[in-house]
A and B are shown apart, each in its own frame.
Chain A
Amino acid sequence: MEDQPGSSDTSPEIETGEPESGGGIFYGWYIVAAMFFATFIGVGTRQGFGVFVKAWEDDFGTSVGLISVAAGIGWAVNGLLQPVFGRLTDIYGGRRVMIISITALGFSTIAVGLVPNVYFLIAVYGFVLSATAGGVFPTPMSSVVSRWFHRKRGTAISLFTAGGSFGGMLMVPFAAYLLVIADWRTAWFVMGGIMVFLGMPLLVAIIRDSPSDMGLEPDGGPGKRETTDDSEGRTSTPTTIRIAPLEAHKWMDSFRSAPMWQLSLTFAVCGVTTAMISVHFVRWAETEGISAGTAALAFGVLSAFNFMGLVSAGWISDHMPRKYLLATVYWARALAFLGLIFLPGQMALWTFAVLGGASWLATLPLTSGLTADVYGLRNIGTLNGLAQMSHQVAGGTAVVVTGVVFAVWDTYNPTFAVGAVLLVAAGFASIAIQEHKYSIRYQTPVPAPPAATPFSVSAIADGD
């Protein structure tokens, strides 16, 4: 296990001295930018599915319901395979997993443009495309970024995640206008071509599994450990290390400690509450007498606040205990849900757009960052994948339950109330995480053993 490429960069984290003090932008940020683009095209293309429903209805002579099966299966397949891609990342390294996956994703996107009927659409989109998308975002990316960044982990994860928000803003209109000037097959060929001819070469050229692959250290710490002193007199010799108390050789051992359950279950609540709103927001607005266009505008506002909340949460979490921010995010979303129940229609709509939007994706950098902080890097892919799976499975279930409840009672209030209760509980569960006890950020540095492998470890600065 220790010799496998993906697991070479494990805790303990070594303190090597002062960070890189010049010489340009740290290479890790290029990796974040490349991941941003891969997320942009990957998530953007999947979100564009809804653009083509009408065209498929006409072309295939089928129902919206049958086309929707492809989206539903795709959601399930993508979620269930996250731990698999996480494990593959731990074993083979995120670079290989992402490159192979984006290539397969590109060709399966092109293949969607070739499907002759709705059943092939279900097979290609629901199974192949959605499965390969899981190998690109978010699990392998979070794992690789966690190796490149320790002090700025939250910021880095939030920035590449924002690629998904931009993907929705640009790739979806791009697909919609491609459909106007050409046809749906051409649109899928173009989107697949972007992945194969731009996304894949970009990942090949830029992504590296860990800073040690380039003679660097996390967060831009001084590289070239073989050189004791560089030209500016900085030493790169590790002096102290911090060890994550809960880091285990086997990923299953992580579930013997409370934080893994707290992180997975709270992330499942995140999945429940975002999925039920994504699916039912416009329909809820219509029940409140709000026009679909206004609801769509509010959802657009929500997306803008989502971007701001995401990036802010990532940055702030690098400067304070992540658990407090995670709890705040869940409680803010709980308030938004209560607003949907108790506030009048228009006020509830805009309150939710702001409060719900700001908390929409902010949980991802906080949960992934905290998982890496507490459990180290050895099994981070698998652990992130399991948390992601809990998010997706719980979200898919919530969509179905919300639909059934609405069909029975003709109101969303019972499910929104359950969502609010779950969010309050998730906030308390987050607060209860013993971050100071278990996070590597708060461990007391100890002298580094002489046998410590220089680039199997990573730098973390004092005071974080």
Chain B
Amino acid sequence: MWFMNAVMSLPALLLHHSESVDPTLIEWIKDEIDAIFGVSPTMIVVVLGAVTLAFPIGLMVLAMLRVRKMRRGGS
């Protein structure tokens, strides 16, 4: 009986795997963000989205400038 219970509980245990954030943890993070910043979810999405957008675009620009400099014999 104990073995069946253990086997039946395995899928639920797998839910907490490192590949998938713990639901308890994400709830806590959301509560903390709400408490600290007190802004609307839309604003948080916009800010995080802007950071996510700015990093690759900025990096591509910097890399292109670097390559151009190398082609001009800068390195």
Contacts and interface: CB of A to CB of B under 8 A. Distances in A.
Interface in B1-47: 2-3, 5-30, 33, 41-42, 44-45
A400 B10 contact: yes
A51 B69 CA distance: 44
Contact of B11 (A47, A68, A194, A283): A68
Interface string A222-266: 010000000000000000000000000000000000000000000
Helix, strand, loop or mixed for chain A's interface? helix
A173 B48 contact: yes
Interface residues on B, range: 35 or more
Nearest to B55: A37
Contacts of A281: 22
Contact of B23 (A50, A177, A223, A403): A50
Contacts of A202: 56, 59-60
Interface string B36-75: 0000011011001101110111011011101101100011
A27 B56 CA distance: 15
B41 A25 contact: no
B12 A64 contact: yes
Interface stretch (A2-10, A291-299, A329-337, A432-440): A291-299
A24 interface: yes
A84 B63 CA distance: 31
A359 to B, nearest CB: 14
Interface residues on A, range: 35 or more
Contacts of A47: 18-21
Given A24-B69, A37-B55, A201 B60 contact: yes
Interface string A201-229: 11001100000001110000001000000
A216 B25 CA distance: 45
Contact of B14 (A20, A71, A282, A293): A71
A407 B19 contact: no
Interface stretch (A271-279, A346-354, A369-377, A417-425): A271-279
Contacts of B3: 404, 408
B6 A408 contact: yes
Contacts of B8: 65
Interface in A177-198: 177-178, 180-181, 190, 194, 198
Interface centre among A30, A49, A176, A177 (most CB of B within 10 A): A177
A51 B23 contact: yes
A321 interface: no
A215 B70 CA distance: 10
A278 B62 CA distance: 37
Interface string A30-71: 100110010011000011111101100000000011111101
A215 B11 CA distance: 51
Contacts of B60: 201-202, 205-206
Nearest to B40: A181
Interface centre among B29, B56, B59, B64 (most CB of A within 10 A): B56
Interface centre among A190, A296, A297, A300 (most CB of B within 10 A): A296
A173 B29 contact: yes
Contact of A297 (B21, B28, B75): B28
A399 interface: yes
Closest 4 CB pairs of A and B: A278-B18, A407-B6, A65-B11, A23-B75
Interface of B: 2-3, 5-30, 33, 41-42, 44-45, 48-49, 51-53, 55-57, 59-60, 62-64, 66-67, 69-70, 74-75
20 contacts: A23-B70, A24-B75, A27-B66, A47-B20, A50-B22, A51-B23, A64-B11, A64-B15, A72-B17, A173-B26, A174-B44, A176-B29, A178-B45, A205-B60, A205-B63, A205-B64, A274-B18, A299-B22, A399-B17, A403-B10
Given A24-B66, A37-B55, A282-B22, 20 more contacts: A23-B69, A23-B75, A24-B75, A49-B21, A54-B23, A68-B11, A68-B12, A172-B29, A176-B29, A177-B45, A181-B41, A181-B45, A201-B56, A275-B17, A279-B13, A295-B24, A297-B28, A300-B25, A400-B13, A402-B13
